[in-house]
Structure 1
Amino acid sequence: MFVYRHQDIAVRRLTEEDAPTLVKWLSDKRVLKYYEGRDRPHDLKRVLEHYFEQTSEVTPCIVQYKSVDIGYIQFYPILVEELQIYGYSDFTESIYGMDQFIGEVDYWNRGIGTKLIQSMVTYLLEHEQADKIVMDPQAWNQRALHVYEKCGFRKVKLMPKHEWHEGEYRDCWLIEYDKNRQNSV
């Protein structure tokens, strides 16, 4: 079941048949450097626990480029606990979060990530009625931050030692896309 299609990008709901593909991506050290950590390769059991036993608020999806499965994306409404952590306790409108990676490394550095982020922002604004979209990438990941900023996200707050990655807590940036500050993506 497709969530949306936009030009060469399609996003469809994750199914159990996708588990071996996630195992492949999440055992590749090149992918793990940026997502989950090279010290946390995923076998089938870990993939099933982590990606198929999520709460109902999370919408896990597979990203396709020209009908080829190339990555993973998930989106979700930000809940009360995270609203407090991020500093949005008084914000009464709708905030969504998203996380993603391109698991097929042959598709890196081709502008696909930018197209994916732009199309997901449009989807969340138009179909989920999001007022803000937030992410918390690790501060050292300048490549991802560049893509997000190119897509209209802005750095809001440095979050010291926010995420466990490769044996240590890493600093992350809280970044946001605010529909009231943007003309379009």
Structure 2
Amino acid sequence: MTIRKMVHKDLDIMTKWLNTEEVLEFFGDPAAPPSAAQVRAKYGPRIDGAVAVEPYIVEAEGRPFAFMQCYRLTEEDYARYGYSSDELIYGMDQFIGEPDVLNRGYGTRMVKAFAELIFTEKRADAIVMDPEVRNLRAIRCYEKCGFRKLKEIDEGTKWLMELRREKFSGKEAAPRS
């Protein structure tokens, strides 16, 4: 399994994934699936580094099967979630785009690998995610990776989940200096 930076040639497969029933259920709006132009407009600037959200593609044996992204929390998010501004907190989001890869352990592997990347390369103190409370499969995966539920947010529709550097069960992440 490989996690690599997303490039412009990935936008076609991203459009395909963002239009699947499995992805739309929790990542997007099932009533308004995005067009190729909308996907380009949203993810093109991220690929180019013009937006502070870093997109990645996950591959197994050279076949792309998932999307991941990370970003440093905004000041508004720090306040909303109750974090001190002296901590370095990153958010991450992901989905598996290929339905035949679901329920095969890839989600757990990719979340652990991406958390390791964020802790080692970004030197984050913690990583947060906000899955919908009804996305039980994702929540179970995140808990297996060491994330814990902190509180319900967005009027009880999502969980704020956190993984602290010192609780990370992957390889030892070097402390931030």
- Give the alignment's TM-score, normalised by structure 1: 0.85
1:109 aligns with 103
Q: Distance in 1 between matches of 2:32 and 2:131?
A: 18
Unaligned runs of 5+ in 2: 171-177
RMSD: 1.4
In structure 1, what is the equivalent of residue 9 of structure 2? 17
Partners in 2 of 1:74 and 1:91 — Cα distance?
Answer: 22
AA paired with 2:158? Answer: C
- Number of the residue aligned with 1:38: 30
Q: Any idea what the Cα deviations from partners look like across 1:44-84, whole Å, max 9, x if unmatched? A: 11101221234532111111112110011101111211111
Query: For residues 36 and 9 of structure 2, what CA distance do their matches in structure 1 show?
Result: 12
1:177 has 2:172 as partner: no
Distance 1:175 1:40 in 2: 27
**Pairing partner for 1:118 from 109, 112, 119:** 112
In structure 2, the residue matched to 1:57 is: 52
Moved over 2 A (4+): 53-56
Q: Deviations over 1:108-145 (max 9, x none)?
A: 00000000001011111111101100001111111110
Q: Percent identity?
A: 36
Q: Does 1:85 align with 2:80?
A: yes
Structure-2-length-normalised TM-score: 0.89
Tell me the number of residue pairs that the alignment of Structure 1 and Structure 2 aligns: 167
Deviations 1:77-114 (A, max 9, x none): 112111111121x2412111101001011100000000
CA contact (8 A) 1:70 1:102 kept: yes
Matching residue's letter, 1:173: W
Deviation at 1:160, TM superposition (A): 3.6
Larger % of helix: which?
2
- Say if 2:18 and 2:24, in contact at 8 Å, map to a contact too: yes
CA contact (8 A) 1:159 1:172 kept: yes
What's the counterpart of residue 131 of structure 1? Answer: 125
Higher strand share: 1
Distance in 1 (alpha carbons) for counterparts of 2:60 and 2:126:
26
Partner of 1:165: none
| CA deviation after TM superposition for structure 1 residue 35, in Å | 1.2
Other-structure match for 2:173? none
- The 8 Å contact of residues 72 and 103 in structure 1, kept in 2 or not, is answered as yes
- Match for residue 67 of structure 1? 62
What residue number does 2:174 align with? none
- The residue aligned with 1:97 is 91
